[in-house]
């Protein structure tokens, strides 16, 4: 199992959360700030079984498309960190 720490620009969050729910993924939403332009972003913690990891990453790629702001600054998209999970319990 993996834990994805997924940092998403605020404009992409509603569509991503909807896509996650439609595809039976669960996420915990955390408000966060930072980045080059100090734009609002959201961090999603998403647990996923190893066999569904590629499906989830493709869903994130399809939903969180980056755009250019000005001449050279990319905004949007997502940054994803993947961490191995030794044990998971839902209580």
Q: What is the pLDDT of residues 9-40, one digit of tens each?
A: 888 999 999 999 999 999 999 988 776 556 67
Considering the domain boundaries, does residue 90 fall inside one? no
Q: Tell whether 49 is covered by a domain.
A: yes
79 within domain boundaries: yes
Give CA–CA dist 29/46, Å, rounded.
9
For residue 9, tell me if it sits in a domain. Answer: yes
Q: What is the pLDDT of residue 33?
A: 74
User: Could you give the number of structural domains in the chain?
Assistant: 1
* Tokens at 25, concatenated: 């993924």
Report yes or no on whether pTM surpasses 0.85: no
Q: Does residue 13 fall inside a structural domain?
A: yes
Q: Which residue has the tokens 């994803």?
A: 80
Domain of 21?
2-84
What letter would DSSP give residue 66? E
Neighbours of 59 (CB within 10 A): 18
Whether residue 34 contacts residue 70, with contact meaning beta carbons closer than 8 Å, is answered with no
- Structure confidence by residue, pLDDT tens digits, 37-71: 566 789 999 999 999 999 999 999 999 987 666 66
Q: What is the CATH number of the domain that holds 54?
A: 3.30.70.120
């Amino acid at each position: 199992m993996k834990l994805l720490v997924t940092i998403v620009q605020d404009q992409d969050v509603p569509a991503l959360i909807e896509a996650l729910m439609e595809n039976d993924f669960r996420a915990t939403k955390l408000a966060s700030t930072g980045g080059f332009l100090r734009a609002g972003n959201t961090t999603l913690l998403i647990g996923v079984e190893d066999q569904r990891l590629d499906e989830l990453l493709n869903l994130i790629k399809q939903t969180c498309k980056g755009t250019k702001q000005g001449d050279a600054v990319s905004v949007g998209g997502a940054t994803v960190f993947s961490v191995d999970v030794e044990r998971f319990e839902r209580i």
